Amino acid sequence: MSEDIPERRKAEILELAIHESSVHEDMWERQLRSPYARNIDRQGFVNFFALTTSLVGQQ
């Protein structure tokens, strides 16, 4: 299947994936700095973030 995708399109997809991961990382950093994050167990937050990220990825 990957042979059917032109190289330019592969580069666009990779660029989009890198952008999306950096956006999620920025959201995570902002959440950790928020006052609410202090009330959340760090591992619990990481688990919740991983779950929501995977659910968004499935759509």
| Segment 11-35, tens digit of pLDDT | 888 888 777 777 777 777 777 777 6
| pLDDT number for residue 14 | 82
- Whole-angstrom distance between the N-terminal and C-terminal Cα of the chain? 21
Residue 24: partners with Cβ closer than 8 Å, 6 or more residues away: 53
Count up the domains in the chain and report the number.
1
Give 57's DSSP letter: H
**More confident of the two residues 34 and 7:** 7
Question: By residue range, what is the domain housing residue 9?
Answer: 2-58
CA 47 from centre of chain:
13
Residue 34: partners with Cβ closer than 8 Å, 6 or more residues away: none
Does the pLDDT of residue 36 top 70, yes or no? no
